[in-house]
């Protein structure tokens, strides 16, 4: 049985959604980031990077990094059609996946959630966080334009939508306004059974109201 290492409400929520969309049976292990569980020896033995998520597969090998896990799940379980069949479609999915993880998450929300990593001076915290919000607003504007006239990133639900959902979820919980198409995408995702199940399991049932 696969083992999934995650933190409720984090980027790992996107992988959790994909696992449920596929219908996999797995064991979930909560990594308490605030308590520093990601730096403990037993977890570093699984993921030396000290990050989440991590997925230990049936053969005992661990796979880390959101993009890698998402892509592997899509390719390992093709019947779920989490990637388009065309090279163009797959490229568009990977394009969005990279933009969400590297820009919205890594450059935008990271400045808000992990401000000390960007400056040693507490007096600079407000400026760093303000810059994070600017990056988030600019990036969501780009995504919003790409979502115009679409229900999902491409013609149907894909791994990119699971990634986009977790940053939309963060925006809602951080009182950051989502542009119209992103908000519609977020609300559409909330209607998916797998998303509703994951939010309930992770302790965010209030988000479904």
| CATH, residue 43 | 3.40.30.10
Helix (H) or strand (E) run with residue 181 in it: helix 180-189
Token duo for residue 150: 């679409």
CATH, residue 182? 1.20.1050.10
The pLDDT tens digits for 7-37 are 999 999 999 999 999 999 999 999 999 999 9
208 occurs within a structural domain? no
What's the domain range around 51? 2-80
Q: Nearest to residue 66, comparing CAs of 90, 49, 89, 41?
A: 49
Residue with tokens 């988030």: 136
Go through the chain and tell me how many residues it has: 209
3-state secondary structure string across 93-151: HHHHHHHHHHHHHHHHHHHHHCHHHCCCCHHHHHHHHHHHHHHHHHHHHHHHHHHCCCC
Quote the pTM value.
Answer: 0.97
How large is the average pLDDT for residues 180-195?
98
204 occurs within a structural domain? no
35 occurs within a structural domain? yes
Same domain, 56 and 125: no
pLDDT band of residue 82 (cuts 50, 70, 90) is: very high
Same domain, 67 and 132: no
3-state DSSP helix/strand/coil percent for the chain, to nearest 5? 60, 10, 30
Same domain, 29 and 92: no
141 occurs within a structural domain? yes
The pLDDT tens digits for 93-111 are 999 999 999 999 999 999 9
Same domain, 70 and 93: no
HSE-up (13 A, CA, CB side) for residue 94: 14
Domain count, the chain: 2
Same domain, 105 and 179: yes
Same domain, 141 and 162: yes
């Amino acid at each position: 049985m696969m083992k999934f290492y995650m933190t409720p409400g984090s980027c790992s929520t996107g992988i959790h959604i994909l696992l449920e969309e596929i219908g996999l049976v797995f064991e979930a292990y909560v990594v308490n980031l605030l308590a520093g569980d990601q730096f403990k020896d037993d977890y570093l033995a699984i993921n030396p990077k000290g990050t989440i998520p991590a997925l230990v597969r049936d053969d005992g090998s661990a796979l880390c990094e959101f993009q890698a896990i998402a892509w592997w799940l899509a390719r390992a379980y093709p019947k779920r059609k989490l990637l388009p069949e065309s090279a163009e479609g797959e490229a568009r999915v990977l394009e969005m996946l990279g933009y969400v993880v590297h820009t919205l998450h890594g450059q935008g929300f990271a400045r808000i959630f992990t401000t000390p990593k960007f400056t040693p001076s507490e007096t600079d915290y407000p400026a760093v966080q303000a810059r994070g919000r600017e990056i988030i607003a600019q990036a969501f504007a780009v995504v919003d334009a790409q979502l115009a006239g679409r229900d999902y990133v491409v013609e149907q639900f894909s791994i990119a939508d699971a990634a986009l959902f977790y940053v939309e979820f963060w925006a809602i919980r951080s009182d950051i306004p989502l542009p119209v198409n992103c908000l519609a995408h977020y609300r559409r995702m909330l209607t998916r059974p797998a998303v509703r199940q994951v939010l309930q399991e992770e302790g965010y049932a209030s988000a479904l109201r």
